[in-house]
Structure 1
Amino acid sequence: MRTRSALLAAVLAAGVAAGPSVLPGPAHAAPAVASARPPHAALEAALAGLPDADATAALVRVGGTEGVWRGSSGVHDLRTGRPADPAARFRAGSVTKVFTAAVALQLAAEGRLDLDRTARSYLPGLIPASYAGVTVRQLLNHTHGIPAPDFPGSTVEEWYAQRFRVHDARDMVRSATAKKREFAPGERQHYLNIGYTITGLLIERVTGDSYEHQLARRVLRPLGLRDTYSPGTNPRIIGPHNHGYQRMRLDDGTTGLRDVSVWTSTDGWAAGDLVSTTKDLERFTRALFRGQVVRGPLLEEMFTLPEVTDLSSGEPAAYSVGLSMKVLGGREVWGKTGGRWGYNAAIASTRDGSRTLVYGVNSTDAKGREMNRVAEHLMVAAYGRP
């Protein structure tokens, strides 16, 4: 097995950049801390050897009635090599969708948002007639058929050059709905951000308030999630955070790691811009699965998969309203993963709350085609294999 020092040396040999500079650094990683009944050895093994080529840090919390486990590994940054901060904030990416869905379902419970009503009936000046049949529920469970909007650039290097660009939600909707639909509403499922971008605008329409304020008033403040916030146009993570890195072509033409901790997330907005911590996400997950965030029968929307197939794979739909489901270790696990440049995150739980998992992984290819290796190993360690 490669030593932790050798792994960090391999990462640094590839080149680590923040802007044009190369950042050297010593090997140093915080050990995992374990207790109670979850599979300690497997979880510790999943965190072993960080930083490596796949991740520079990882923060993990396992909870539920079966026991508690806490772990962290890796470094705060590759320049100093000091241990990763286990309480650090990170970009939660598409985990944001669970929060947005919760707000929408609360409004539905109040009779202010009708899941069976069309999005166009709420936003007639924005949603064109070609998408007149798309309902609010279809936005939330990805069966709407609206394609993704266009964004400038096609490579990570081009996107990095545009990292401070501010994207307007309405402009993104106009870009998406100007295109031909991918399928008739309700016929297939295609996981995209655009349904949640429109949902954020629906929340603003029916409340006469900003999405961010409604999220804080309805979810963040009631649950005491003091380290979770919507960053708006601020490209920096406010407060303590471990640096995120992305493998890409550097200024000298070589391929290596660039510090991407500073990056505007307005392209994600209600679909993917939240900053949070493992502690806050664990508290949110427990409350959600106990019915303390979305109350009554509408909570079942989050645990109901539409009876359609996935557009790309042809497999049965895996996404509900806000969550997704996968069978791991012989039991259903519900949750949501997310990725922003430099950061992967996830929340997960068995339906009965017997085992929850929350992680933040500082991935070196957080938006890659395959699941990050460290994140995958943590999921398998916590629940078992598919």
Structure 2
Amino acid sequence: MHRHPSALRRLTVVGVALAAITAGAYAPAAMATPTIPPRAAAAGPFDPAPVRALLARLPDPVVAGALVRVAGDGRARPWTGTAGQVSPDAHFRIGSVTKIFTSTVVLQLAAEHRIAVDAPVRRYLPDLVPAAYSTVTVRQLLDHTSGLPAPAGIPGPADGPGWWRKGVSPQDVVRRAFAAAGSTGAGQPPKPGSVQQYNGVNTFVLGLLVEKVTGRTYGEELTRRLIRPLGLRGTSLPSPDDLSVPPPHARVYVGTDEVTEQSPWAWAEGGVISTAADLDRFLTALFRGRLLPPAQQRLAFTVPDVPSARTNTNCINHISCFSAGGLMRVTLDSGVTVWGKTGSLPGWTNGLFATRDLARRVAYSLNPTGTASERPYVMAVLDAAFKNAG
């Protein structure tokens, strides 16, 4: 029987990199009652053999190191495997997985009535968002239906040696995108809400929105609302001038260039550093309704019923796959549907996925060398990790 390719098989596993702390902890007044569906009766236990076999073949010319963590199935402890110079508790740059953190903070602020999700973003950021985008709402930023222009003038190979250490402010990322769109004469942007196009600029604007309505930095809000309450001791958002990664961590290369130290310019869109265990703790809390009240919890898993842009390589068959919670809904070739997010930065390709009932949860971090696409490795990990999961 012919099968359609899974969403991740066509997924462009590249973050926008290629295209701070306050006292107190946040606790929403009314948490969502978990509405986790029962696990499918046909689900079986996780068999680590295929993942172990994959990791045994590494390092190779395409992937220099890897970390895979599989939890659930009633296991007292997660299964963890590594390859290359990577430790099970390694820190890594999570790239666009950061989007789930940012969306959760925004939805918490919506629950506090400090942000209205269906209000125009320009109401809050009139000096940042041009009049041409005056009807774009916060919800449309969250679910990538805003029609905002893509990033322009961000650090990349064209900047020459050491480009991965070059930085750009969040404000400049957004302003350059709008300026470039205006200079190309591309005409009117698509009608907001009409099509889904994955775009990191949406999340940069969301981060700036958090700062505007709270009067604190995004990093401060991230820490007081998520990192500290959940005890995510291995998770941080570096300051703009901090190029380091806390130990232990892999030393990563793209070609012959070591890119371990790099600018965290991707910020609220992709600048967070974390560990596999911390990511699993965060996703578990989110899925169980510990972070959002019921209305916002439902929104976090709502994917808009609009077409996916033809230029969007993240979702198949021109059907939207991103929710207003920063999550990606993926149905694998096995038929198992998972929710999570991928994220990449030079030297790292990561992902965090789980079945909706949390019966099987997977976090991975690969260290691609840039010589060829690492997507087959990602798919091999996910197909093996979620085999028999539903």
Q: Would you call these one fold, judging by a TM-score over 0.5?
A: yes
For the residue of structure 2 that corresponds to 1:196, the secondary structure is helix
2:217 corresponds to which residue? 210
**Whose strand fraction is larger, Structure 1's or Structure 2's?**
1
1:143 corresponds to which residue? 145
2:350 corresponds to which residue? 345
How many angstroms apart in 1 are the aligned matches of 2:214 and 2:259? 35
The residue identity in structure 1 corresponding to 2:365 is G
Contact 1:152 1:159 in 2 (8 A): no
1:263 corresponds to which residue? 262
1:306 corresponds to which residue? 304
Contact 2:232 2:278 in 1 (8 A): yes
Contact 2:46 2:386 in 1 (8 A): no
Structure 1 window deviating more from structure 2 (168-177 vs 270-279): it is 168-177
For the residue of structure 1 that corresponds to 2:318, the secondary structure is coil
2:101 corresponds to which residue? 99
The residue identity in structure 2 corresponding to 1:184 is K
Cα–Cα, structure 1 residues 43 and 74, in superposed 2: closer, same or farther, change >3 Å?
closer
For the residue of structure 2 that corresponds to 1:360, the secondary structure is strand
Contact 1:306 1:320 in 2 (8 A): yes
Question: Displacement, 1:275?
Answer: 0.4
The residue identity in structure 2 corresponding to 1:46 is L
Question: Displacement, 1:341?
Answer: 0.4
2:36 corresponds to which residue? none
1:334 corresponds to which residue? 339
Question: Displacement, 1:157?
Answer: 6.3
For the residue of structure 1 that corresponds to 2:165, the secondary structure is coil
Q: What is the aligned residue count? A: 331
1:179-218 equivalences in 2 (<5 Å): 179=181, 180=186, 182-218=189-225
Contact 1:278 1:359 in 2 (8 A): yes
Moved over 4 A (4+): none
The residue identity in structure 2 corresponding to 1:226 is R
TM norm structure 1? 0.81
1:127 corresponds to which residue? 129
For the residue of structure 2 that corresponds to 1:335, the secondary structure is strand
Question: Displacement, 1:371?
Answer: 4.9
Matched, 1:290 2:288: yes
Question: Displacement, 1:159?
Answer: 5.9
1:213-232 equivalences in 2 (<5 Å): 213-232=220-239
Matched, 1:377 2:380: yes
How many angstroms apart in 1 are the aligned matches of 2:141 and 2:374? 25
How many angstroms apart in 1 are the aligned matches of 2:154 and 2:337? 38
How many angstroms apart in 2 are the aligned matches of 1:60 and 1:339? 15
The residue identity in structure 1 corresponding to 2:144 is H
Question: Displacement, 1:171?
Answer: 1.4
Contact 1:50 1:73 in 2 (8 A): no
Deviations 1:205-248 (A, max 9, x none): 1101100000000000000001100012211112321111213x
Question: Displacement, 1:60?
Answer: 1.4
How many angstroms apart in 2 are the aligned matches of 1:374 and 1:107? 38
Contact 2:155 2:168 in 1 (8 A): no
The residue identity in structure 1 corresponding to 2:82 is S
How many angstroms apart in 2 are the aligned matches of 1:287 and 1:192? 26
Larger relative contact order (Cα-Cα within 8 Å, sequence gap ≥ 6): 2
2:5 corresponds to which residue? none
How many angstroms apart in 1 are the aligned matches of 2:107 and 2:383? 31
1:240 corresponds to which residue? 248
How many angstroms apart in 1 are the aligned matches of 2:59 and 2:336? 31
Question: Displacement, 1:52?
Answer: 0.8
Q: What are the ranges of 5 or more consecutive residues in structure 2 without an aligned counterpart? A: 1-43
How many angstroms apart in 2 are the aligned matches of 1:71 and 1:125? 47
2:81 corresponds to which residue? 72
Contact 1:54 1:373 in 2 (8 A): no
How many angstroms apart in 2 are the aligned matches of 1:284 and 1:103? 12
How many angstroms apart in 2 are the aligned matches of 1:124 and 1:72? 48
2:39 corresponds to which residue? none
Q: What are the ranges of 5 or more consecutive residues in structure 1 without an aligned counterpart? A: 1-35, 77-83, 248-256
For the residue of structure 1 that corresponds to 2:330, the secondary structure is strand
For the residue of structure 1 that corresponds to 2:238, the secondary structure is coil
Deviations 1:293-316 (A, max 9, x none): 223221111211111111125611
